[in-house]
A and B are shown apart, each in its own frame.
Chain A
């Protein structure tokens, strides 16, 4: 008699729970992952620099100084650094709201500390150039997609070459998107 009651009550419990769960509970998951990181850098102030198309200006953490083309700037301060959790990735370079750049002046965004105007020598860089005093991307990197690819954690350096410009302001927002 007691056993029958136990079985009956357990049966009722299981039936009630099964009915509720089967009707209103769905399966599947909801997941999330971060797919990109972006910042706008416009805080590196180069101050007044002398127009000289044969040198590349850079910030060494204390002052603005310069090197010649294809010469390593050993004391250059990084523009940004990237820690890739998967030890590789890419940085996409684009231009933000502020894009004032004298015509023919170039900004080199490089993954190494040696400026090379010739992209045949160093293809792993992005070049911005002034056209009618507005910055445009004139070299989109080795794959033509505006990206610099990293096989390990990386650093970004920036050089400025005044080109044929003799005066003018430089105020360019450089947008870095890493993934």
Chain B
């Protein structure tokens, strides 16, 4: 009996919320509705990013890996570029915003601050790491995140 009361209470609660959400949705224009739904369709691709900065006269050490933005060991003043392939297997266009954070982020830049990928297609983008000539030798880390919204 208690179980039935609980189920009944949760059922009414959910039904009430869903009904309220539906009313709100029905009052929206199509554009507002799409934007609202998009807010629930934000996804991210995250790549761990790292570099070791060494003195200028040291040779660079490159790391070639598909799944991480490891810039290896770079001398001061050097620039490294990594090309990333982004594949959209969805049936909708997506908009991508790359962002970086962590101690490495001050040297990271992107080919585009915002770009779109058509349905079931791919795009390549360059990510640059520019080490200043006066950078302090040491290890720097962070993340590069691609924030993806369906449009």
Contact = CB atoms under 8 A, between A and B. Distances in A.
Interface of A: 2-3, 5-6, 9-10, 12-13, 16-17, 20, 24-41, 43, 77-86, 89, 176, 178-179
Interface of B: 4-5, 7-8, 11-12, 14-15, 18-19, 21-22, 25, 34, 37, 41, 43, 45, 47, 56-57, 59-69, 72, 74-75, 77-92, 94, 117, 120, 124, 146, 148, 150
Contacts of A12: 15, 18-19
Contacts of A78: 59
A26 B124 contact: no
A83 B64 contact: yes
Given A13-B18, A32-B47, A80-B61, A37 B91 contact: no
Contacts of A30: 43, 45, 86-90, 94, 117, 148
A86 B67 CA distance: 11
Contacts of B150: 26
A17 B56 CA distance: 60
12 contacts: A16-B19, A27-B91, A28-B89, A32-B146, A34-B69, A43-B75, A43-B77, A80-B62, A81-B59, A83-B61, A85-B63, A85-B67
Given A34-B65, A82-B62, A83-B62, A5 B8 contact: yes
B87 A43 contact: no
Given A17-B18, A30-B87, A6 B148 contact: no
B64 A85 contact: yes
Contacts of A34: 47, 65-69, 82-85
Q: Is the interface of A mostly helix, strand, loop or mixed?
A: mixed
A80 B45 contact: no
B99 to A, nearest CB: 14
A38 B61 contact: no
Given A2-B8, A28-B91, A83-B72, A37 B18 contact: no
A38 B41 CA distance: 34
